[in-house]
Amino acid sequence: MKDFAFFDAQCAIGAPILGNARGGETAAGLLAEMDRNGVDKALVAHANTEAAGAIFANENLLELIRADDVDNRLTGVWTILPAQCGELPPPDEFFAQMAANRVGALNLFPVAHRWQACRLTIGRLMDAAAERRIPVFLGQRIMDGGWRGVFDFMRTFPAATVIINGVSLWGPDRNIRPLLENFPGCHVELSEYWVPEGIADLARLYGAERLLYGSGYPRFGHGSTMLSIRHSGLPLEQVRLIASQNLERLLAQAQLV
């Protein structure tokens, strides 16, 4: 087992507004499930960001992680907002705060937080994030227009380092393949990619370095995608890339300070 380290790219903790946290209210709950399944590390967002907002979620996420993560196995994901209202510090300061607080990636919820994801609102931040290769999570569920919103975002910020998440269980190849083909900085986390033999197909077409293990916790458990990656049929060195090494690389290459 330990010849396969797993680094989970898609986790969330915190109490959702509608309940049903399935044990993920605290980092302790997540860490226990990671241990039960043999997952080493995780990149963690707040489970209630859409309802509670970026300001609360960014702060509360750190509190939750610090309360239980004594071995520093968890890395945070912070949520961005438009620059004009001054709710977040300027990019350099924001990125420095991320580094100081073990936060390694960004996400955004423009529909829930009622703003337009475009160059006018986040151009300066996204240009800086792209230049510093800071990973940004992007998903069809949270963008205005679904996949159209994802495509618009990628056309607007083609140099961004992006992790496409929440791809939907209804085989998303018609949408993710054009993104992988056209944007070299685009990656896909696999928690909802359940296509038979599909992981190997994507790796052969676009490279195993574009794919990331993600559990989707707490909606999904850790184990099912672990087994589908383990037995994807790919060479072991590519399995290891997908299981953990790609995410390690993305976080290491991000220049937060």
- The set of residues, in sequence order, having a beta carbon less than 8 Å from that of 66 and lying 6+ positions away, is none
Classify the phi-psi angles of 38: left when phi > 0, otherwise alpha if psi is within -120 to 50, otherwise beta.
left
CA atoms within 13 A on the CB side of 236: 4
Give me the least distance between CB of 242 and another protein, in Å please: 13
Give me the least distance between CB of 99 and another protein, in Å please: 29
| Nearer CB in complex with another protein: 55/227 | 227
| Nearer CB in complex with another protein: 38/158 | 38
| Nearer CB in complex with another protein: 22/102 | 22
| Nearer CB in complex with another protein: 15/195 | 195
Give the footprint of another protein on this chain (CB under 8 A).
1, 22-23, 33, 35-38, 169-171, 173-174, 194-198, 201, 217-228, 230-233
Residue 83: Cβ within 10 Å count? 18
| Nearer CB in complex with another protein: 24/76 | 24
Distance CA 66, CA 79 (A): 18
Could you give the C-alpha distances from 143 to 22, 124, 189, in angstroms and in order?
Answer: 25, 19, 17
Distance CA 6, CA 38 (A): 8
Give me the least distance between CB of 229 and another protein, in Å please: 9
Helix (H) or strand (E) holding 113: none
Give me the least distance between CB of 217 and another protein, in Å please: 6
Give me the least distance between CB of 193 and another protein, in Å please: 9
Distance CA 247, CA 68 (A): 22
